[in-house]
Structure 1
Amino acid sequence: MPSESELLERIQTVPDPCSLAVGVPLSIGEMGLVQAVEYDAGRVTVRMQLTSPMCMMAAYFMREIEQRLLAEAGVTSVHVAFDMALEWRPEHICASARQRLADRRITMLGGRMLPREKPEGREGTSDA
Structure 2
Amino acid sequence: MVDAESVPEPVVESAVLAAINTIVDPCSAAVSLPVGLVDLGLVQDVRIDHGSVAVEIVTTAPRCLYVGHFREMVEDRVRGVAGVAEVTVHVAQSDVWDESMMLPAAREAMSARVSARRRALTLHPTPPPPR
Q: With structure 1 as the length reference, what TM-score do the two structures score?
A: 0.72
Instruction: Give the match for residue 120 of structure 1.
Output: none
Q: Shift of the alpha carbon at 1:69?
A: 1.2
Q: In the alignment, is the contact (CA less than 8 A) between 2:57 and 2:90 conserved in 1? A: yes
Amino acid at match of 1:72: V
Identity over aligned residues, as a percent? 35
1:9 equivalenced with 2:27 (yes/no):
no
Instruction: Give the match for residue 111 of structure 1.
Output: none
Instruction: Give the match for residue 104 of structure 1.
Output: 117
Count of matched residue pairs: 105
Q: In the alignment, is the contact (CA less than 8 A) between 1:42 and 1:74 conserved in 2? A: yes
Unaligned runs of 5+ in 2: 1-9, 119-131
1:88 equivalenced with 2:116 (yes/no):
no
1:1-128 matched pairs, under 5 angstroms: 1-93=10-102, 94-99=106-111, 100-104=113-117
Q: Please give the alpha-carbon distance, in whole angstroms, between the structure 2 residues aligned to 1:102 and 1:80.
A: 35
Q: With structure 2 as the length reference, what TM-score do the two structures score?
A: 0.71
Q: Which has the higher helix share?
A: 2
Per-residue CA deviation, residues 64-117 of structure 1 (Å, 9 max, x unaligned), is 111111112321111111111123112223322431244335xxxxxxxxxxxx
Q: Shift of the alpha carbon at 1:24?
A: 1.4
Instruction: Give the match for residue 118 of structure 1.
Output: none
Q: In the alignment, is the contact (CA less than 8 A) between 2:28 and 2:34 conserved in 1? A: yes
Once superposed, what is the RMSD of the aligned Cα atoms? 1.7
Per-residue CA deviation, residues 25-53 of structure 1 (Å, 9 max, x unaligned), is 11112211111111112111111111111
Q: In the alignment, is the contact (CA less than 8 A) between 1:30 and 1:97 conserved in 2? A: no
Does the C-alpha gap of structure 1 residues 60 and 101 become closer, same or farther in structure 2, counting only changes over 3 Å? Answer: farther
Q: Please give the alpha-carbon distance, in whole angstroms, between the structure 1 residues aligned to 2:26 and 2:39.
A: 13
